[in-house]
Chains A and B, each alone.
Chain A
Amino acid sequence: MPNKKIWYFIFTMPLFLIFCIVVLVPFLIGIYYSFVNWDGISSNPKVFVGFDNYTALLQDKRFLASAWNTIKFTLFALFSVNLLGLVFALIVTSGFKTSNLVRTLLFMPNLIGGLILGYIWRFIFTDGFKQIGEITGGDSIFFNWLIDPNFALIALVVVFTWQMAGYTMVIYIAGIQGISEEVMEAAKVDGANIWHRMTKIVFPLLMPSFTICLFLTLSGAFKIYDVNLSLTNGGPIHHTELFAMNVFNEIFGYGNYGLGQAKAILFFVIIALVTITQVVITKRREVQM
C-alpha cells in the first residue's frame, strides 16, 4: 500500500530530517575526529592516526578512574532520584489541601540552571554545614564535604537528586493520574491494604513511568557537567572528575581533540549498551492496556 508509506513518510520525516542534521551528522563527524590528531583549531592540521587515540585512552588512568566515578555516581543517583521522585509524586497526588502548592515548591529546584546551582550549594556545604556543625556539635557529619574525597561525590549526588527529583516527580504524577480511580476504588472495596494496592496495582501500572524516569536519570547522570564544574570542579584531586568533565578537559583543556572524541565515543558505546538493556528490560514489564 503506497499510500500508507507516504503517510509514514509525512509523519516521521520532518523531525527525522532535523534530527539527522543537528545530532546524527555531527555525531558521525565526531566519530571521524576520534581517529585524528588535532588541537581543535580549525585552521590547524588534522593528522589521521587510526586507532592510536583508542589505545592511548586505555592507558589513561585518570580517564579510567573518572569512568569508574561516573558509574558510582550514576548508581547512587539512580536510586535516590527515583525513590524521592516517586515518594513526592505519591504525596502530592494523595489529595490533601496544599498539594498544588507543594507540587510547585518541590518542582522549583529544577528551574535553576546547573552552573549557578553548584555555586549556591557550595555555600551550603562550606558555610551552611559548618554553622550547623558548630550549633549541633555533629561535626563528624556536618563538615565541608567538598574537600573530602568520598563525601564530595556524595555531595554531587545530593545536589543532583535535589534537582532531578522534582523532574521525575512530574513524570510519575502523569503516570499515577493515568491510573483510573475505579480500579483503585474496586481494590479498596475488596479489602486490599495500602501496601497491596501499591505493589499489585500502582507499581505495575507505573512501569512506563519507571522506564522513562530511569532512563532520564541515567542519561542525565552520565552526562552531568555543569554541576560537576561549579560544585567541585573535579576536586579534591580528581576524585569527582566525572566522565563529561574528563572529556571536556581533554578537548578544551589540553587541546587533544581527537583523544577527547575517542573517549566520548568509547564511553557512549558502553553507556548505550547498558541503557538500552535497561529500557528493554523495563519495557517488557510494562502492562499493555
Chain B
Amino acid sequence: MKNRWFLALLTAVLFIISACGNNTGSNSNEGTNNGGTKAKQLAKISLFQSKVEIAESLENLASKYKQETGNEVEVWGSAGDSYITQLQTKLAANEGPTIFSVQQGIEAEKFASYFYDMTNEPYAKYIVPNMALEIEGKVVGVPIGIEGFGLVYNKDLYDPSTVTDTASFVKALEKFKADGINGLSLSQTAYFLIGHIINTPFAMQADPIAFIKQVNKGEVDLKEVPEFRDFAKVMEAIRAYTVNPVEVTYDKQMGDLAMGKTAIVHQGNWSYSMLADYGDLNIGMAPLPIAGNDKLEVGIPSGWVINKQASPEKIAAANAFFEWLYTSETGKNAILKDFGFIPAVTTIEPTGLDPLSQEVYDATQSGKTLPRALNYFPQGIIINDLAPLASEFFLNPSMTPDQFLDKLRDVWAKAAK
C-alpha cells in the first residue's frame, strides 16, 4: 500500500526510458526487415563532417542516394566550431560516425588510430595526385574538394601584374591609403587574421614540414629567414596603412570588398559565397607577393575517412557510397554544383566554377601552388597563440617587426611543447 506511489514512479521512470528504447529498437528492426526483403541492401551508415555550408545539400544527396540505390546514409550535423569536440566525444563513447571528416596534418595524425586503410579501394585511384589524405604512405581519406587562398582583389582597383615583391606591395598599400581606400583587409577571426597569411612564409621553405619541426624546437631565428622578414614587413604595412583588422568581421571584410571600399582581402575561394549576395563583381585572385612569391596556396582542407571501428558491413557500405559519389552523375553533380567545390578527383570535369575557384583550379593546372603548411602547425596554435600575438601587434604600434618575429618564435616554441 505504502509503496504503491513509489512503484508508480519507478514504473514511470522505466517507462520513459524503455519507451525510447523501443524507438531505437523498432528502428533497427526496420533495418533488418528491409535487409531481409532486398538482398543487396547495404547497412545504414552515418556521415559527420565539419562544413556546415554543405550540410543541407548533403542531406539532399543522401535522399537521392537512397532513391537510386536503396541504401541509407544518415547525415549528422553540428555547428562549425563544435565539430571536433563532438566528434572526439562521440568516438570516446563508441558512438562515432561511419564516415567523418578531419583536417590533413596534425588533426589527422591525432585521429589516425581510427582510420580505415582505403589504398586498395577502387575510388582511391580517382584521386588527383597529391590530393589524398595519406598517413605513412597509405590512403586513409578522400578529398571532397580543393580549396585555395591568396589575395582576393577588385580588378578595377588592383593590378597584380605590377606588384611582384614585398617592396612594391608595401608601396601599393601606402598609395591606397593616400587615395582613401583600404588597401588590404584581414579580419578578426583567427584564421583570417593570421592563420592563412602566415602560411605563405612557411610554405615557401624548401621542406615546410621539417622547417616547422625546427621552429617547434625554437631553433630558428625567424629574423634571419628572408620570407619571414618580408612577411613581418607586410604585417607592419597592414598596421600602418589599413583599417585595424582586429575591428573587422568577416562579413564586413567581404562587404567592404564588394562595395569597393577595400581593394584586396586575404581570403580563399570559399568566400565567393559571401560576395555572390552583392551581385556581379569584377574580382580575381592573386598570390601574396612576399619575397617574390607568385603562387597561390592550394590544398584539401579536409579529407573524409572511414571509421575502422565500424562493423565490416558498415565499412563495405561506406566504400560503396564513396564509389557512387565519385562515379554516378548525381554524386558528381552534387560535389561540383551543390557543394560548389573544386573537384579533387579525375572522374569529375570541372565546369562552371565560380571566378575564384576557377583561378585556384588554373593554378593547380599550371603547378603554381604552395602547400597548406598550416595543417602541420602544432595543435590549437592558430587560435590560442598566433591570433592573440597578431592582435597584440596590430593594437600596439610600438612593436617592431623584429620584436614581432622574436615573440612569434617564443610563443611558437612554448605552444609546441
Q: Give the B-binding residues of A (Cβ under 8 A).
A: 10, 14, 39-44, 115, 122, 126, 144, 147, 229, 234-238, 249, 252-255
Contact A253 B92, CB 8 Å, known A10-B6, A235-B391:
no
Q: Tell whether, in the assembled complex, residue B110 and residue A255 are in contact, meaning their CB atoms are under 8 Å apart.
A: yes
Interface residues of B in 79-121 (CB under 8 A from A): 79, 81, 84-85, 88, 91-92, 110-111, 113-114
Contact yes or no, A237 B392, CB < 8 A: yes
How long is the Cα–Cα vector from A39 to B91 in the complex, in angstroms?
A: 13
Q: 27 A-B Cβ contacts within 8 A? A: A10-B3, A14-B9, A39-B110, A40-B92, A41-B88, A41-B92, A41-B113, A43-B113, A43-B114, A43-B309, A126-B247, A126-B249, A144-B247, A147-B391, A235-B387, A237-B388, A237-B389, A249-B383, A249-B384, A252-B84, A252-B85, A253-B380, A253-B384, A254-B379, A254-B380, A254-B384, A255-B380
Q: B178 an interface residue at 8 Å Cβ cutoff?
A: no
Number of A-B contacts (CB under 8 A): 66
How near does chain B come to A264, taking the closest CB pair, in angstroms?
15
In B299-333, the 8 Å CB interface with A consists of: 309
Q: Is B10 an interface residue (CB 8 A)?
A: yes
Judge whether A253 and B383 touch: CB under 8 Å.
yes
Q: How far is the CB of A137 from chain B (nearest CB, A)?
A: 20
**CA separation between A238 and B79, bound complex, in Å?**
24
In the bound assembly, the distance between CA atoms of A44 and B383 in angstroms comes to: 24
Give the size range of B's interface with the partner: 20 to 34
**Are A238 and B388 in contact (CB-based, < 8 A)?**
yes
Query: Which residues of chain A come closer than 8 Å to B380, judged between CB atoms?
Result: 249, 253-255
Q: Does any Cβ of A come within 8 Å of B275's Cβ?
A: no
Task: Using A126-B249, A249-B384, A254-B379 as known contacts, list a sample of 6 further A-B pairs with CB atoms less than 8 Å apart, ordered by residue number in A.
Answer: A43-B113, A44-B113, A147-B247, A237-B388, A237-B395, A238-B388
Please provide the chain B residues from 239 to 259 with a CB less than 8 Å away from any CB of chain A in the complex.
Answer: 244, 246-247, 249
Whether a CB of chain A sits under 8 angstroms from the CB of B13 is yes
- A236-B113 Cα distance, complex, nearest whole Å: 37
CB distance from B254 to the nearest CB of A (A): 16
Contact B379 A253 (CB under 8 A): yes
Given contacts A14-B13, A235-B388, A253-B383, A40 and B88 within 8 Å (CB-CB): yes
What's the nearest-Cβ distance from chain B to residue A156, in Å? Answer: 17
Question: With A and B bound together, what is the CA distance between A229 and B113 in angstroms?
Answer: 30
- Cβ of A147 and Cβ of B379 under 8 Å apart? no
Chain A residues near B395 (CB-CB < 8 A): 147, 236-237
Task: Please judge, given known A-B contacts A14-B13, A44-B113, A252-B84, whether A236 and B384 are in contact too, CB under 8 Å.
Answer: no
What B residues does A237 contact at CB under 8 A?
Answer: 388-389, 391-392, 395
Which residue on chain B has the smallest CB distance to residue A255? B379
* Complex alpha-carbon distance, A229 and B384, angstroms: 12
